[in-house]
Structure 1
Amino acid sequence: MPSDDPTSCTATQGARQCSDSSQATSKLLAELIDHSLANVFAFDRDFRLLAINRTAQQTFQRVRSMVPQVGDNLLQWITRHPDLAALMQPFIPRMVAGQPFTESIALGPADDLRHYQIIYNALSDPEHGMLGGSLFAYDISERVAEQARMRKIEEALYQSQKMEAVGQLTGGIAHDFNNLLGGILGALEMAEQHQDEHRYLDTTRLLGVARQNALRAASLVQRLLAFSRQQTLAPQLVNVHQLVAGMHELIASSLGTRITFIDQTQQEHWPVLIDPNQLENTLLNLCINARDAMPSGGTVLLASDNTLLDQAQAQALELPSGSYLHVSVSDSGTGMPAEVLQRAFDPFFTTKPAGQGSGLGLSIVYGFVRQSGGQVRITSNPEQGTCVHLYLPRAASQASAHTDGQPQTVMVVEGQAVQRMLICEVLEEQGHQVHSFSDGYSALQALRGGLRPDLLITDISLPGGIDGYQVAAACQKRPECVLVLFITSSASSRVNVRPDPYCDVLYKPFELAALSQHVEKLLKKRYLPR
């Protein structure tokens, strides 16, 4: 019998309206999912399919000629397709555990490979119990293809920029080398004439000029290599005042007669732990830059002072707070406009005419100082000169290492006969007992035969298939301390030598005095505890 209660009728109508609304919403959501560009799957905890949308059905029909149906076990269905099973296998444990994830897979034959981004989420009940999961697979093949196309464009652009940079570099380096080689050839030609005329003092002077230009050429190669790779540094305790004092003649000859050089570094200023050869190159490079900024002449001032950087000052310089030696090189030249100053450290950037500069100088200075734990800053204004500021970390003074000064047994392994002869002659004049070998095999044979060197000097690249690293490894297997000095051509790749106080690296070409310094430095460490 129908109820006459209007309240009951209203409630019944409201429930029907709610039900109709819910069904409409569910239908709308189902249609949206069914027409989604994503491949959509829903399954229960046993991986039985609860739903699969139209896109997924069409995809499987196209690539598999069959379609998984609602009620199918998804894992069993995947197992029947080994390639798909192999791709999905790493994800199954995460799906079983209900762990959400987003991953990318590639599926299909090589001539029709498709890329998909799969997004998995667990399906949970109101009490957060896991009911199953949903998986959305988006076809991102066009995006991947576009990314690959962009990578090819970027690689082509990079290659083009690299070739342009090589062209700039070749022009600058060729100009510098031609100047140096011209000086060397001219000095040697004149020296030969003077020698025939028995003018030996003039001959000696001209040979010195040729030697100086050869050293500059070697330094130029080192600067080039320093740009192309992170260089292997040999830090030492350095008093900058003493280092600059030893460079006075070189700096003065580089600056010429129209430029006044003033050295205001101080003996009592803090020492720094840095590669002295690279620091010399850096300071000379900055002095030459200053010279080029003063075509009508002027003044170059090289100064130093002890500097304590507080937190704010250090942060502005991107350095830890603490004690630094501040070294500055300033000139009274043309200065730099803001747009040039902003690019001063960019590799290959130069304001010099084509072929008259490589644009590497300041970028190499920056790389070396940063690698040494310091910082570089430039202050400059047009027609008001330029000042380059170097901030180098202070080093604590170190006592000289003990050495007994007695002759040592030195093993020399060098494939170049002239180089080997010169090295041995220097060592023998110092009183050392020298055993020389032309290849790694004969050196290893001597070690097996009982040779016990105190110091090994070996080229890294040796003929015969056994390199200097292997010879050094054989020496260092012995219980006694064997010091190692590696020698390498400056054209070689980065030296694979870990920082070690009992090991050092010397780059070719080198002065025989530099060889003696490296040997002396290593031998002083022989009796220190390892």
Structure 2
Amino acid sequence: MNAESIQSDLSNAGLVLLFAPVQGDLHALDRLLAELGLEIVICSSPQQFYDRIGEDVLLAVVTEQALVSCRAEELENVLRSQPQWSDMPLLALVDSEGGRVDSGRFDRLASIGNFMLLETPTSRQVLLMSVRAAIRARRLQYAVRDHWHELESHAGRLEAAVQERTLELEHEVQERSRIQAELDEARRLESLGRLTGGVAHDFNNLLQVITGGETLIRLLQGGRLAPQMERALDSIRRAADHGASLTQRLLAYARRQPLSAVTLDLSSHLAATADLLLRTLECRIDFQLRLPPDLWAVDADPAQLDAAILNIVGNACDAMPEGGTLTMAAHNVNLPAPELPEARQLKGDYVCLMMSDSGEGMSEQVADHAFEPFFTTKSAGRGTGLGLSQVYGFAIQSGGLAFIRREAIGTTIGLLLPRSAAVVAVAPAPVVPSASAGLEDIRMLCVEDDPAVASTTGELLRSLGASVVVADSADAAMKLDLSQFDVVLSDVMMPGSMDGIEFTRWLSEFHPSLPVVLCSGYMLDPHRLQSLKAEFVRKPYRIADLIASIGRAVAFSP
């Protein structure tokens, strides 16, 4: 093998350390290595030799005299400090006749480094082949190094990807836990709503019998009541009115109460409500109203909105027994919005009404249960626990949301109501027949499944001059000759093949000229009323409201 072929094989090989204290050896080895195109670094002392050993060195060529000048412990420390992939070759040229380096010393060196011994004198070709073999071995180490670094890079990227995915999974788990908690809370509140709605339905029927009986007694007595009976009937009416108020709050929470939603100019409505509050709030309460000039109109029931506001105001005043500040503010918002994390499930345009007080505030436990019916922190006799439940039910049934924020000072209760797509219009006042006109000569069909309600209502209507036929279901009513009636008064929730709403639709198809008045205090789906051409009166109803509804139905029938 000639020097040219070896040189081409070792092109761009790297550095070679040469440590030969004897000048003759140094010059001979320098010329030989230079012929191979290698970059040579000549070391003149052991310390310089130690300092120059590094990753960029392909090979170290040392003579026996150089090894003698090196301390074995220092050389061992340098060689052991190499990276894990590195085992730099050392080609040691020793005199086969000198014997200055004992075999034990070489055995120790071999245990700590990649030593190769060549006895001198040796042929030029053997020396060149040894250099080449050592450099090839070093290049393999470089390949291992590069692969090692590549694996470390891959491992780093993999670890970063795993960490990133772990964070994503943690976020997903937290998000799922949050959604599950919200779902569980919604189901719990829905279950409470069904329970309270069912109780309120039966309670409304009892109240209807009570109020109807009280009114019937007054009619039958013709105004000739003894003072003791007058006081008793007044007490019955007050108790029935209070019971009706409680059932309306229960039904509002259960979202089973029909709402009379209209396109409401919220800015004007809130300003009018604020005027009322300013006249009624105690002077110890500083009331503030903050409304933007471009507040959107909303779809809402004005009466239920007022009730919700008054319930919130009542709670706020109770939380500020020594006085404080009550702020009512509203603004437009497009959901979802970062400033309203409570409404992350809503999308679209809403108006956010927020009422904040500077009172005692709520604990986390109280806030978690504040919207539940009958939950109260007030002492016995000071509250029913139905105020905030009405707020919650009204907001949800209106297509919005109610939420509570625990502030650093006080509490904020928020209402989100959907923006109305319609234009606010002032409707003309309808012509309402007088309640004193009675129901003389009107032929009525009363469809009611509760026997007590049917009996009381029938007697009450007859006392007002109407002719009444009672049917206990829509199925029974459909078997009658309906042409003999002027108006139908029907309950909504009834057993049989159809309820009151389905019965009304059947009448509009087969008896379109027969007017209908629906009455109920509880409905599974109040929105079903919106498409009906029928009057509606809420149980328990007063006789004046019933007469007015019947009069409108008869007056405006085809």
Q: TM-score, normalised on structure 1?
A: 0.45
Which one has more relative contact order, counting CA pairs under 8 Å at least 6 apart?
2
